[in-house]
Chain A
Amino acid sequence: MNAAYVIVALPLAGAIALLFAGCLPIRGPVGKVRDPWSGWLATAMTLGAFVATVWVWATQVGRSASGRSSDLNIFTWIPVGDLHVNFGLQVDPLSILWCLFVTGVGGLITLYSIGYMKGDPSFNRFFFYLNAFVFSMVVLVLADNYLFSFLGWEGVGFCSYGLVGFWFERNSAAVAAKKAFVTNRVGDFGFMIALFLMFKHFGSFNFSAVLGPLSAGHATLAASTATALTLLLLLGAVAKSAQLPLYMWLPDAMEGPTPVSALIHAATMVTAGVYLIARSAPIIHFSSSGQWTIAWIGAATALFAATIACNQNDIKRVLAYSTVSQIGYMVLGEGSGDYSAGIYHTVMHAFFKALLFLSAGAVIHALHDEQDMKRMGGLRKHLRITFPAFIIGYLALSAIPPFDGFWSKDTVLAAAFHKSPALWAVGVITAGLTAYYMTRQVILVFYGQARWADQSAAHGAAGHSAPPHEAPPTMTVPLVILSVASVLGWLLNAPFGGLDFINRWLAPVFPAAIAPSFAVHTGTKWIIGLVATAVAVAGVLSGIAAWRRQVDRPALEPAVLAHGWYIDEGIAAAVSGPLARTASDLSFEVDAKLVDGSVNGIARLAAESGRQLRRIQTGYVRNYALGIGAGAAVILFYVALRAGS
């Protein structure tokens, strides 16, 4: 029995059990909900999957670099002619790395959710979705072919939909869930067309058949095919990973419960696009224009989302736009040809962004669902564990050495500099903005006057006079673990002392044939690091200078940025304006008149010709006789004519 099956089986078993647990007449200690038993079950399943992943990883480490990839076929799903699509698991360094942080971070967040979701009437349903999500995500990364991976891809999309709209009684949550789902359909369209193209070109979906010969250097791919496949897969990736131009669902996805934002919309699901690009590296290698497109989409998204994050007042929306921006860095690293840099940043981001979201969740929890940063402030005295955790996440995200974000972002920036100094410049500007908006957030939430106090006074009876309270241990334990990971995680791929574990671990997945290695000069690296640090410190200082004393600074918060460049409003206006008018015209003019008219016209033609034709049936014998006689005469005439000629 291979432990890789366990990684998939445990979350699936948990999801199925929780799906039916809702029918059982079990009552937990807290009212009618199965609180907290289903949460503990889900946590046990996810952490069990993590243990199994570690086990698989340890087995792999014991093997030689080339023997770390194995293919486990569960059963053949579609046997049609020459096409065999399997439910198969591909265990290789890339998929196991992803599984490690999906199940690891996922387990911590499930544990945290037990405290966060306490007392929710749909407690059980929440943990069903979490386990179903982890299952879909490990299927996505462990699948040994694109089609099976696509199933996981759709599965995480479904779970995301269910969790964004978890509180579907709220209209905004239902709308946000719909928006996330519809936006992702656009990307799925690209993914599916890529699958069709792949089938036409390779006749297979298996990674071993499609990618194997390419990465081994045995085969090449025409640039046109490679570019088409790259761009279509990229369309899928930008929708799932919330990159330009399909980023707009992610900020709205913050309508979901905060642990969901941490797990799905920061740490794991949104990195599926990063995974897809990394997995398809052998195809992308043959498309130079595809690589440039990926790099520029990443850089543009990073900068674009960072500008919006500077002007949001919702504590979670700041982090959401920050996530979009940071995934931009990952995509930039991949587009620059340094896949392990992008993946390094993905893993580090999973640590510190999950930490930030969970800390934000603890803040929201402490203030009884208050999310507006303008109504917070002064919380550092009250939240003794959350505050330092948030500060660690803040320093890591702002790329202040020696925290996680600095090292991974620096690796990405070095790769970008090697690709093009322009890409690097965009990345550095974004780094400054990142430090600035995170400083603004920290000051608004934890420093200054306690603005929540007068809010509750203004609310009167509805207010909560009790001071903010620290979260229960189920919530603070994950914070502590993730804090440690955010401080020390960078050692997984430190650029000195032979500590570049991730680089070496991923080397068999990205051989030189498809990812030519390049070395950035050590002196250049120093300069890049120093410049990035200087810019980050400048961002922090300007943030402190701007927000230390004042809460409202309209000059620094232009409406255009607070509204996200009016992209959503623009789309809404376009859809409800010209598009709706066109649709209405099509419906009333083209459909009602042209389409319906032609169908009705044909029917009317048949009826009218029948009405006219029946007149020749007079009922008089002599008319029929005349007809018969005339007919016979015509035939005779014809025969005589032929006989004569």
Chain B
Amino acid sequence: MNVPSAWYLILAAVLFGIGATGLLVRRNVLVMFMCIELMLNAVNLTFVTFARMLNDVGGQVDVFFVLVVAAAEVVVGLSIIVAMFRRRAAATADDIHGLKG
């Protein structure tokens, strides 16, 4: 059976929306981080879908780039989070507003 491409796109949009909403409403830094990963992978899904639809392998190549960048980003992000936890226990994102005007 052949799943229509639109369903993939709808799934990706829903996943992106869940990620974006989570990023905006949650305060736990670790959860926000996971939301970002969710949004990245939603985008990856659209890339792959369009690659299949258009018979263009370029979209799949882009996904590899995104995965590599996401892996690097996870390293940097987690190290920041670890540093935060070292300074204060149970830090939320709202505790770090040193750039407040």
| Chain A residues with a Cβ under 8 A of chain B | 613-622, 625-626, 629
Contact = CB atoms under 8 A, between A and B. Distances in A.
Interface of B: 20, 23-25, 32, 93-94, 96-101
A621 B101 contact: no
Nearest to A611: B101
A259 to B, nearest CB: 79
A619 B24 CA distance: 14
A621 B25 CA distance: 11
B101 to A, nearest CB: 3
Contacts of B23: 622, 625
Nearest to A614: B101
A109 to B, nearest CB: 81
B34 to A, nearest CB: 15
Nearest to A626: B24
A619 B32 contact: no
Nearest to B94: A620
- By Cβ-Cβ distance, the 10 closest A-B pairs, closest first, are A619-B97, A617-B101, A619-B100, A614-B101, A619-B99, A621-B93, A622-B24, A620-B97, A625-B23, A620-B94
Contact of B98 (A613, A619, A626): A619
A619 B96 CA distance: 7
Contacts of A626: 24
A617 B101 CA distance: 5
Given A625-B24, A629-B20, A619 B101 contact: yes
Nearest to B27: A622
27 contacts: A613-B101, A614-B101, A615-B101, A616-B101, A617-B99, A617-B100, A617-B101, A618-B101, A619-B96, A619-B97, A619-B98, A619-B99, A619-B100, A619-B101, A620-B93, A620-B94, A620-B97, A621-B32, A621-B93, A622-B23, A622-B24, A622-B25, A625-B20, A625-B24, A626-B24, A629-B20, A629-B24
A622 B98 CA distance: 14
B37 to A, nearest CB: 15
Contacts of A622: 23-25, 93
B94 to A, nearest CB: 6
Nearest to B35: A625
Contacts of B98: 619
Nearest to B32: A621
A620 B100 CA distance: 8
Nearest to A615: B101
Name A's interface SS: helix
Contacts of B99: 617, 619
Contacts of B100: 617-619
B29 to A, nearest CB: 9
A629 B96 CA distance: 21
Contacts of A614: 101
A626 B93 CA distance: 14
Nearest to B20: A629
A615 B100 CA distance: 8
A615 B24 CA distance: 19
B24 A618 contact: no
Contacts of A625: 20, 23-24
Contacts of B101: 613-619
Contacts of A618: 97, 100-101
Contacts of B24: 622, 625-626, 629
A559 B27 CA distance: 98
A337 B45 CA distance: 105
Contacts of A615: 101
Most buried by A among B96, B97, B100, B101: B101
Nearest to B24: A622
Nearest to A621: B93
Contacts of B20: 625, 629
Nearest to B29: A621
Contacts of B94: 620
A362 B2 CA distance: 132
A617 to B, nearest CB: 3
Nearest to A624: B99
A616 B100 CA distance: 9
Nearest to B93: A621
A620 to B, nearest CB: 6
